[in-house]
Structure 1
Amino acid sequence: MAMAGSTTNIRIRARCVGSGPAALIVFVTLFMVSVTDGQCPSKLKMHSFSCFGDYNTQFLNMQKSQRTLFSGVDVELLRAFCSAYMSAMSCINQLKAECGEDHHHVIDVPLINLNGATDELSFMCQNDDIYEVYARHMSCYMVHGSYSERCFHDVMNTTSRFLKRVNWKSLDDLCRDLSQVMQCIKDNIGRSCGQEAASLMDVLAKPMVRSSTMCDRHVFSTKVYSETYQRTTFVPPEGTNRRVISIRESDSYNGGGRTTLYPLILIICVVISLSTTRSKHLFYNERRI
């Protein structure tokens, strides 16, 4: 009945415009708008929040897990979470397709909880091959989980947690620290579990820290010095994600140049001392003669 009324109103508007091609275009346009509005749910905000019902459950399961993505969380838990996330985003996109753009701001309200995380989760969950690879190396991730957790804690100065909100003063600081965390974890996993297991860490680590995908497009400054570290430029080899990143050089590394000078200085001192002793000996011998 409501549809018949809408069609009648459209016909009346079309008559006002006139006849011919112009009237037909107006009629079709108004009809499509009417159909779209007719499919849009009346309680739109409630429908958009209902899209995330299963996601919220799986998100809590991930956070309650004793293990993180890079320390061997159960692969089925990961699979269930990604499935729920992709379903939620599909539901949101469907609502946007059914409703006009003027309703999109209402549909996007539940996405506030995913602030700084949608790119990270999509990066991980859109790849179905991840589960097979992860399952092959899950036990090795578990064995070396404590080491990976320590890498995260020592650099970030906080415990690792799924979709962690990390306080950072600047994007440069965040990306530098993430780079150091990844280098620490991947070096150990590569030695212990193999390169395939290590390469997956690039995918698994992003959802651990919100806004981490911003570092994919960030270029570091290269000449910034402080008392504790020197920032340098590192360009990955061909075949990898060739973005410029910053690595932190430890004090022991920076002190290496100074350390190599100590033996040289010691040798010079010994030579001078021997020369002085020999000169004194010759001087006393000449006096005796």
Structure 2
Amino acid sequence: MTPLLDLYFVWDKLKLLLLCICLPYFASGTCPGDVKGQIKNCFRDYEMKIEGILTPGNSIISGVDAENIRLLCTGFKYGEACVASLKSKCLQDTAIIEAELLKLTLAEEELKLLCRDDSLYDVYARNRYCYEKSGIANEKCFRDVMNSSVRIITDLDQRSVTGFCGDVDSLLNCIGGALHAEQCSKESITQKDKLVRPLIRGSQECDKSAYTVSSQKTTPSQLQNGRQSGTKGSDGTNTADYCLANRTLILSLLVVFSLVLGFS
């Protein structure tokens, strides 16, 4: 084989190699046409299971099977991972994705804290009977303080941090009093915060270091529609997602160059 033919042979093999490596990368990194529909698909299981902890008389604060909470968290974690993948593929649609997430029955930051602790399910199962005994009083607290039946509240006016967080504190104190009246364990009373906060988007910001109690209306530094703001680039995209996509592309190119050197 002449050197010229040898060169053509290597070039043909290199083109095939590039196709095999790059095609799966671009295929897996393609942004779907219907971004909004994809977000709904991501959280489909979660939305189906959320009703299992919000049924009046059988809610997360009035006694449910601990397995319902486990399934809820499984659906939530899948939805989070699915949306993270979508963001990495659709960097130009970050604002659309964030807007759609706000439409879901979702208190994202609060659910992250609830679902990251695997011991929660056993603790809840041990204290379920106590939540059942105080259930009517717990749900009455929710109606009296939040002016709502038990559901995930996503539309409260959070511009007045003092008023918003004051209501959250009042609700927690009310439910704590109901549990104490039933002589519930300290463990069950302590756990109430983890159970109540996922029912109110933005309530995780309401610790004593996150807001100042005063008569003036103030805004917490990172409270935006109940969601913490991430680090954004100058074009409004999420910097972490953008860097992840760039790193993936660079690694793919390094693999190609390594294989090319191997041919030479």
TM-score under structure 2 length normalisation? 0.63
2:101 to 82, 91, 111: 111
What does the per-residue CA deviation read over 1:77-106, in whole Å, with 9 as the maximum and x for residues that have no partner? 222111111111111122334x15224445
**Does 2:118 correspond to 1:128?**
yes
2:137 maps to 1:147:
yes
Name the SS of the counterpart of 2:51 in structure 1. helix
Q: Counterpart of 2:203?
A: 212
Judged with a 3 Å threshold, the aligned counterparts in structure 2 of structure 1 residues 73 and 147 are, in CA distance, closer, same or farther, namely same
The corresponding residue for 1:238 is none
What do residues 106-130 of structure 1 show as CA deviations (whole Å, max 9, x unaligned)? 5545413248711111111121111
**CA radius of gyration, larger in:** 1
Distance 2:106 2:74 in 1: 19
The structural deviation recorded for 1:37 is 3.6
Asked if the contact 2:105–2:152 (Cα under 8 Å) also holds between the matched residues in 1, the reply is: no
Cα 1:198–1:105 shift into 2, 3 Å: same
Distance (whole Å) between structure 2 residues aligned to residue 221 and residue 103 of structure 1:
37
Q: 1:82 to 1:213 in 2, by over 3 A?
A: same
Give the deviation of 1:220 after TM superposition.
Answer: 2.6
Q: Relative contact order: is structure 1 or structure 2 higher (C-alpha 8 Å, sep ≥ 6)?
A: 2
Cα deviation, 1:56-93, whole Å, max 9, x if unaligned, reads 21123333453222211222222211111111111112
What residue identity is the alignment partner of 1:75? A
Distance 1:184 1:66 in 2: 17
Structure-2 change in CA distance of 1:65 and 1:37 (3 Å): farther
Residue of structure 2 in register with 1:163 after alignment: 152
The CA distance in 1 between the partners of 2:92 and 2:210, in whole Å, is: 33
Equivalent residues in 2 for 1:187-226 (5 A)?
A: 187-190=177-180, 192-216=183-207, 217-221=209-213, 224=215
Partner of 1:83: 74
SS at the partner of 2:71?
helix
SS at match of 2:114: helix
Cα deviation per residue 1:25-81 (whole Å; 9 max; x = unaligned)?
xxxxxx97x764431254352433321221121123333453222211222222211
Higher deviation after alignment, 135-144 or 45-54: 45-54
Aligned-partner SS, 2:206: helix
Whether 2:56 is the aligned partner of 1:60: answer no
Query: What is the count of residue pairs matched by the alignment?
Result: 198
Alpha-carbon distance change, 167 to 90 in structure 1, aligned in 2, over 3 angstroms: closer
Contact map agreement 1:36 1:100 (CA 8 A) in 2 = no
Q: What is the identity percentage for the equivalent residue pairs of Structure 1 and Structure 2?
A: 26
Cα deviation 1:117-158 (Å, max 9, x = unaligned): 1111111112111100000000111011112222232323x1
* Partner Cα distance (1:176, 1:213) in 2: 13
Unaligned runs of 5+ in 1: 1-6, 12-30, 226-289
Q: Distance in 2 between matches of 1:165 and 1:50?
A: 20
Secondary structure (helix, strand or coil) at the match of 2:213 reads coil
Q: Distance in 1 between matches of 2:202 and 2:66?
A: 24
Q: Secondary structure at the match of 1:181?
A: helix
Q: Using the TM superposition, give the Cα deviation of residue 208 of structure 1 relative to its aligned residue in structure 2, in angstroms.
A: 1.6
Unpaired runs of at least 5, structure 2: 1-13, 217-264
